[in-house]
Structure 1
Amino acid sequence: MKKCFGILLLCLFAFNACEKDDFCTTTPVTPNLVIRFYDKDDITAVKSVPRLSVIAQSKTDSLISTRTLDSIAIPLNGLASETVYLLKMNDAEGNLADNKVDTLTITYTPEEDYISRSCGFRYVFDDVTLTVTNSWIERLSNNSIPEINHQIQSHVQIFH
């Protein structure tokens, strides 16, 4: 009887020590800043940017290089309170004299958002402010965004 009780007690402790598997079933992503480009004369018309390049300040590699796009999603640095990008448009292929470069400065307050033990953290960006030098960019739809916590739709529209 003592042996059965001992084996039963051992089994009870063994099964009690097991931990439920904890897999991240969601895909929490630190959201990118989503920008959509529009025609400055017809604010409802989407307008692609010819040969767009996006380069982070003080970097040599491009995030996007000479592609014609009507929208982009660019990452923000969760370990800093400011991210600066150079947005370069070229009207004629291969002609450096036709390059038009604007500087997009994004300031924000990064905040860690706890998802779960298995998924970990992601960053959410609060009090986002955008400023741009005007070379080929005419204006922004808004200069401030209360919070960036998704990348489902565009956060800001650029008119050019």
Structure 2
Amino acid sequence: MKYIKLLIAPVLLIIGVFVAIACEPDDICPEGVATTPRLIIDFHDILNPDNKKNVFDLIAFGVGNDNVLSDYYFTDTDEVFLPLKTDVNTTQYTLISDATVNDNGTPDDDTDDYIEGNPDTITINYSREEVYVSRACGYKTIYKNVTLTIEPDADNWMLSRQPMNENQSVENEDETHFIISH
């Protein structure tokens, strides 16, 4: 009986070691790992194209879903980071410059409020490629052959656009992808 007890202890120890080795680390995508990048647009001065220029009281929202981007809600900025759709090859945004809230004459009732300002719509076209990152992080989408069009209207504040490269791609958030002059 003692012999069996002496054998069981090392066997349990060996089994415990194998179980510990066989366990995998948590499948959590670490912070800082590159995921699906956003499109980066810098705003420049139309009169001095080498200088960045703020857009004041900017509001940005997706066309078709009217989701306001929380980072761009009455913001003064000289750049925007816009997420692109991963399930279709086109994304549209409306960017409103000099935005204000019209309370419709009822300051105590915000249900009838609406946004005023100078809206311009941009259309971004691209092709998508899925790239494997890791088991924890899954796949990310990179965008190839990206084009940006400023939709014409009666009062465009965005006057020109320029891609940073021919056959512009969006593979990371370390560089500007387009310049829009205003």
TM-score class normalised by the smaller sequence: 0.7 to 0.9
State which of 138, 141, 150 in structure 2 corresponds to 1:123: 141
| Residue 108 of structure 2: aligned partner | none
Secondary structure at the aligned position of 1:146 is classed as coil
Unaligned runs of 5+ in 1: none
Deviations 1:36-73 (A, max 9, x none): 10011110111111221111112334212222211111
Q: Match for 2:146: what amino acid?
A: V
Are 1:48 and 1:70, in contact at CA under 8 Å, matched by a contact in 2? yes
Cα RMSD (Å): 2.7
Aligned ranges for residues 61-100 of structure 1 at < 5 Å?
61-63=67-69, 64-90=72-98, 93=100, 99-100=117-118
| Range with greater deviation from structure 2 (126-135 or 18-27) | 18-27
| Range with greater deviation from structure 2 (141-150 or 2-11) | 2-11
Q: TM-score scaled by structure 1?
A: 0.81
Structure of greater Rg: 2
Query: Measured at CA, do residues 25 and 99 of structure 1 come closer, stay the same or move farther in structure 2, by a change above 3 Å?
Result: closer
| Residue 35 of structure 1: aligned partner | 41
| Residue 107 of structure 1: aligned partner | 125
Number of matched pairs:
158
| Residue 149 of structure 1: aligned partner | 171
| Residue 21 of structure 1: aligned partner | 25
